[in-house]
Structure 1
Amino acid sequence: MSKEKKVAAPKKSSVTRLTRSSKIVKTIIHAIQEKKGENIISLDLRKIPEAVADFFIICEANNNTLLKAIADFVEKEVKDKCAEIPYKHEGKIAQQWILIDYINVVVHIMMPEPRKFYQLEEMWSDAPMMEHKD
């Protein structure tokens, strides 16, 4: 008789658990602030089992040039200061919503209209939210 092996779904590593004071989180928020991103918030998803990351960082840009500039600067600063490159990024072509995925932290840089439409803050309303002002 062969025994069936149960394979557990991959989980976020507890060793790499982040906090809002983690270097990568601070670096991302500072980079967004430096490039004048607006309405910056972070959502702490660590206590939500179905969440794909520990944190979402969400901000707005008022035009396509600024949207791309914020995304590029976030990637540069995280690479320079944290020695990390994104697992993936999406949206640089359409330039309405750029997503940068660092596995445990996902950055959403959005134009105002898609942000209002998708309402990520509402979708993840169980997560503690923090606003980040200059």
Structure 2
Amino acid sequence: MDNKALIQAVAEACDDKRAENIVALDMHDVSLVSDYFIICHGSNERQVQAIARAIKETAEENGNDVKRLEGFEEARWVLVDIGDIVCHVFHIDERYYYNLEKLWGDADRVALNVAQEG
């Protein structure tokens, strides 16, 4: 599965768990950290964990290893590293505090086919 297809699958998994404001950023020209970021948020810790778990399961079902999963227990900002794609699942309070979309404002958005794209 190529990165664009995996991004769409992960975005759909987030949407299935009712993640809000799902955004994918193409980081190729602005960062060496990863090729893509997916950013979304949940309204409580349990939802944040469910979203992160769905991302992990979707990546693994599609033959990708999750390199790192950080922040799961606290569920305020969970980072799911799928190699070329890094997913940031925030608690709503943390999402707007860190504002990654503004921080990485030079990154192009990747079109997603989900109802809640931001």
| Aligned pair partner of 1:113 in 73, 93, 113 | 93
Instruction: Name the one with the larger helix percent.
Output: 2
Judging changes above 3 Å, is the alpha-carbon distance between structure 1 residues 114 and 131 closer, same or farther for their aligned structure 2 residues?
Answer: farther
Please, what is the CA RMSD of the aligned residues?
Answer: 1.6
Q: Distance in 2 between matches of 1:74 and 1:27?
A: 9
Structure 2 regions of 5+ residues with no counterpart?
none
Q: Which residue of 2 aligns with 1:25?
A: 7
CA distance in 2, matches of 1:68, 1:74: 10
Give % identity.
27
The structure whose RCO (Cα within 8 Å, separation 6+) is larger is: 2
Match in the other structure for 2:47: 66
Deviation at 1:54, TM superposition (A): 0.7
Kindly report structure 1 stretches of 4+ aligned residues shifted beyond 6 Å.
none
Match runs of 1:81-96 below 5 Å: 82-96=62-76
- Name structure 1 gaps, 5 residues minimum: 1-16
Contact 1:43/1:57 (<8 A) preserved: yes
Alignment length (residue pairs): 113
Letter in 2 for 1:36: R
Amino acid at match of 1:92: F
Matched residues in 1 for 2:75 and 2:37: separation?
Answer: 19
Q: Is the 8 A contact 1:27 1:77 kept in 2?
A: yes
Query: Corresponding residue for 2:78?
Result: 98
Residue 128 of structure 1 pairs with residue 102 of structure 2: no
Q: Radius of gyration: which is bigger? A: 1
CA shift for structure 1 position 131 = 6.5
Tell me the amino acid that sits aligned with residue 23 of structure 1. A
Output the amino acid matched with 1:117: Y
TM-score normalised by the chain length of structure 2: 0.88
Q: What SS does the aligned partner of 2:22 have?
A: strand
